[in-house]
Structure 1
Amino acid sequence: MVSIRTVAPALLLLLAGCVSGPDPKPPEMPLPAKFSEGNLKANGDVATSQWWARFNDKRLNGFVDAGLAQNVSILQAIEQTNAAAGDVTVAGAGGLPALNVGASHTTSGELGSQRTQHGSLNTSAGDVNVSWLLDLWGQYRRAREGALAELDAAYANVDVQRLAYLQDLVTSYINARFFQARIAIAQENLKSRRETLELTKFQLDAGAASRLDVVQAEGLVNSTIAEVPGLEISLRQQVHHIATLLSVSSASVMSEIQNNTGQPVFRGSVATGVPADLIRNRPDIRQAERNLANATSQIGVAQAQLYPTITLGGDISPSYIHASGGRKGGLTTWSFGPTLTLPIFDGGRLRAGVDIANSNAKTQYFIWKQTVLTAIQQVEDALSAVSRDAQTVSAFQAEVKSYQEALQLSTASYKDGASSLLDVLDAQRSVTDAQESLAQAVQQSASDYVLLNVAIGAGYVPASPKAAVAAGSPSTAAKAPVVKVSDKKAN
């Protein structure tokens, strides 16, 4: 005959291994084998890639390094991981034994002519309470499992904020340099147009030009002067935004920007890898996958509430009484026993909780899937642009060169009286338009390069170990299971 002392521990151990609800599994979806304009070569870990350094701009490099360590949005995300770590402890605490100890001391007596002869009474008491809810169905284990997934999602969010910071800062820097280039173009053209105005006035004095020619030349000078303040406003707005990202004064950023180094120009190519690489390298996809894991764990939490619970509890309350009349003594009360709670009728609340948890998990799966699809589109769009931007820049460079030559020829012809002022003014406008188009093409090329690197999830981890420590502890999301995908083309 088997002893109850042998069976009971084994039964408790078996029940302790029961966990309600489905286990979180890596989500799956079909993915194309490669990007439409990419190749089949996979990327490695691009998290530490300092892609902005390929602009060869020391000021930009300094801004990026400073911002990764002190950007407010990144620091907020790091602080949120501390709260998420606390949630892990809170989530699992319900399944652990709880011990509460209390003590008290009271003095009582009577006043007045009708008082008894007992005098004062001193009572010292203590209380020790122990309770342990047996987590037979894994409610708290699932809750802690979900909280760990939520912690991983919080760490992934830090990386999301770093990527967003990189895109915002580098793009703002590119825009600031673009407006600087536009201002330089306007000032250069203003000088040329003033020279044309002086030449026209000289021609008027010599009888070779009319007053109309002078007025037209003056109008072109004034329109160029009017253009500069708007460009300076746009430049300062970009500088102010950079200062906000860096948490420094705009004056210090302006002093750095005023040392003009020209527009950032990228030359070369970007290894985009294959769509499956995005599952590992994109922090927003990892965050969505961890949110899905958390939602899946909550199904088990909701299901466990449908089943009975057993709580082991005990209480010991010793007390000691001492009266002023010499009477004294102690008393200790105690109790111990299990409590069974079985949900019978709740109006469907617990069943509805399970349905809600299932629906939330499905929603998180669709969010993850949409995040993956959006990431693929972002890479496709940026890759298409980067592969063609160089052709656009080259064409505008040739256009500027042609129109500058045309301006030289028309100006020389005007001085000789062989052409009209209108030819010169048209040539100047053409040069200005071509120069502005070239500056904008360079700006767009640099911005597309930024978008492509952000789209593949590159550069969000500080390359320096000291910077990484300053920015926060290593992400546990890196230890999350790799998401499985079908390596085949989607329909």
Structure 2
Amino acid sequence: MVPRKLGACSALGALALALAGCSTAGPDYRPPEAAVANLPGAQGNFDSAEGDAFSQAPLPDHWWRLYDDPRLDALVEEALAANADLRVAEANLERAQAAVREAAGAEGLGVELGAQATAERNYSLRSAQTSLPGVITSQLGLSFNYPLDLKGKLKRGIEASIADREAVEAARDAVRISVAAATARAYASVCAANYQIATVEQVVSLQEKTLDATTRLQKGGRGTAFDVSRARTAVETSKASLPGFYARRKAGLYLLATLTGKPPADYPRQVADCSALPSLREAMPVGDGAAMIRRRPDIREAERRIAGDTARIGVQMADLYPSVSIAGGLMGFNQLRNLPKEESLSFGLGPLLSWNFPYRAEVRARIDGAEAQVKADIAQFDATVLEALRGTEEALDTYARDREQAQALGRAADSAATSASQAGKLFRYGRSDFLSLLDAQGALASARVSHAAAQAALIDDQISVFLALGGGWQQAGDTTSGEMPEVSSD
């Protein structure tokens, strides 16, 4: 066995030691100081959260529990456990976590094992019967490579992959918010449909009593066929709105089945008879802008995109410098040429250097592109914060105005009920005509239906506020997941 020794390059070793003292390429990430999120107007109380409808108390993690409705709580928890869209988001997060492990693995020792065997036999060109002895050669090699990562290219790559994973995690949390809100909204639509059906049925019952009385008056000679037809028209007009409410109830039940990962035919039967509208037991807790910014997953996702792309600047800048690694190998060589047998073993160890020096302009262009991407990310972060603030203010104001409208419609319905009662008495005593009675009952029907619709819309408005505030993504026992680094103007 004849050993062969590979000499180490002393110049490369000296260069490796010199580069070892250099700092990591690229900028370290810092939250953008001039971001909109740092402005006082973005962090204070919401402009539209005034009046007794709102509270400055912090929004609870599981806001749907404010309705104190066990059926709603159970539906939301079931949806968060079985929703198909949420399962997709969880799978995306698993893939991002795998990418982090892959990036971290590039820092470790790389080992490669190779084997080769060849057989050669030369034949004479003049005579196929005459040949030279055959040669059988085999090689077995083991090599390793350990990157020194002197300029932090691998480190920046790991930082980027971690930030990407956190962005995907925030996107997953946004899906949780949407699923919780959609489930609460579908449940509320079922209850609202039943509530409106009951309201219309009460109106129809009153109108049918008037129709019966009118029919009796006609038979007794005190009424006319025209009065009867008008009373019947009022009844049928009110009944005409019922199929739409039944369809809305069934659509809500089908949606609940889909949200909880079931076929529409397996909708929750226990919810079908819900007739009481979900009601908040206290003023709506909304917190302030700073809490909303920290909580909203889309804002956290946008901020993590800045962090990831900032790290990628360092990845590109590292290509301006040589790439140095420690490499070595063990090679076994065996050659059998009839006899005797020849064997050898070789071993090498030393630094390897690679440098894309002729392409520095290309690297500079990639660095410029990475820096431009960060600028775009910061602008997108500001846009996301502004849109979140605008959407929240709009949702708060819509709820406040619709609440005022519902209260006014409630007073109108009470007044219409009084008028209808008075009109009935006047008609029975012959002091008013039938048309006045029908007008009063028509006004009552319209007021009650409008009030019921306004009350149903209020529940939808409340859910829109909770959705805008970004609550509901936290999992049981989770107090740290998805926390966005503090955005400071220091």
Q: In the alignment, which of 11, 14, 18 is matched to residue 23 of structure 2?
A: 18
Q: In the alignment, which of 404, 408, 418 is matched to residue 417 of structure 2?
A: 404
- Is the CA contact 1:78–1:158 (under 8 Å) kept in the aligned structure 2? yes
Whether 2:271 is the aligned partner of 1:257: answer yes
Segments of 4+ moved more than 6 angstroms: 7-11, 107-113
Q: In the alignment, which of 147, 170, 176 is matched to residue 190 of structure 2?
A: 176
One-letter amino acid of the structure 1 residue matched with residue 85 of structure 2: S
| Residue 146 of structure 1: how far off its partner (Å) | 0.9
Map 1:148-297 to 2 at 5 A.
148-297=162-311
Q: The residue matched to 2:284 in structure 1 has which SS?
A: coil
Compare 241-250 and 406-415 and name the one that shifted more.
406-415
Distance 1:335 1:433 in 2: 93
Whether 2:435 is the aligned partner of 1:422: answer yes
Provide the residue aligned with 1:85 in structure 2.
97
One-letter amino acid of the structure 2 residue matched with residue 79 of structure 1: A
One-letter amino acid of the structure 2 residue matched with residue 440 of structure 1: A
| Residue 108 of structure 1: how far off its partner (Å) | 6.8
One-letter amino acid of the structure 2 residue matched with residue 277 of structure 1: A
| Residue 246 of structure 1: how far off its partner (Å) | 0.8
Distance 1:361 1:252 in 2: 48
Compare 434-443 and 303-312 and name the one that shifted more.
303-312
Q: In the alignment, which of 111, 129, 133 is matched to residue 114 of structure 1?
A: 129
- Is the CA contact 2:186–2:255 (under 8 Å) kept in the aligned structure 1? yes
Q: The residue matched to 1:477 in structure 2 has which SS?
A: coil
Identity within the alignment, %? 26
| Residue 61 of structure 1: how far off its partner (Å) | 1.1
- Is the CA contact 2:214–2:227 (under 8 Å) kept in the aligned structure 1? yes
Distance 1:442 1:81 in 2: 39
One-letter amino acid of the structure 1 residue matched with residue 26 of structure 2: G
| Residue 149 of structure 1: how far off its partner (Å) | 0.8
Provide the residue aligned with 2:460 in structure 1.
447
Q: The residue matched to 1:221 in structure 2 has which SS?
A: helix
Map 1:348-363 to 2 at 5 A.
348-363=361-376
TM-score, structure 1 length as denominator?
0.85
Provide the residue aligned with 2:488 in structure 1.
484
| Residue 304 of structure 1: how far off its partner (Å) | 1.6
Q: What is the Cα-based RMSD across aligned positions, in Å?
A: 3.2
Provide the residue aligned with 2:6 in structure 1.
none
Provide the residue aligned with 1:489 in structure 2.
none
Distance 2:480 2:160 in 1: 17
Q: The residue matched to 1:27 in structure 2 has which SS?
A: coil
- Is the CA contact 1:42–1:277 (under 8 Å) kept in the aligned structure 2? no
> Relative to 1, partners in 2 of residues 1:13 and 1:223: Cα closer, same or farther, differing over 3 Å?
farther
Provide the residue aligned with 1:34 in structure 2.
45
One-letter amino acid of the structure 2 residue matched with residue 422 of structure 1: L
Whether 2:149 is the aligned partner of 1:138: answer no
| Residue 155 of structure 1: how far off its partner (Å) | 1.7
Distance 2:414 2:157 in 1: 68
> Relative to 1, partners in 2 of residues 1:13 and 1:408: Cα closer, same or farther, differing over 3 Å?
farther
| Residue 147 of structure 1: how far off its partner (Å) | 0.7
| Residue 21 of structure 1: how far off its partner (Å) | 1.3
| Residue 330 of structure 1: how far off its partner (Å) | 1.5
Map 1:281-360 to 2 at 5 A.
281-322=295-336, 327-346=340-359, 348-360=361-373
Compare 437-446 and 60-69 and name the one that shifted more.
437-446
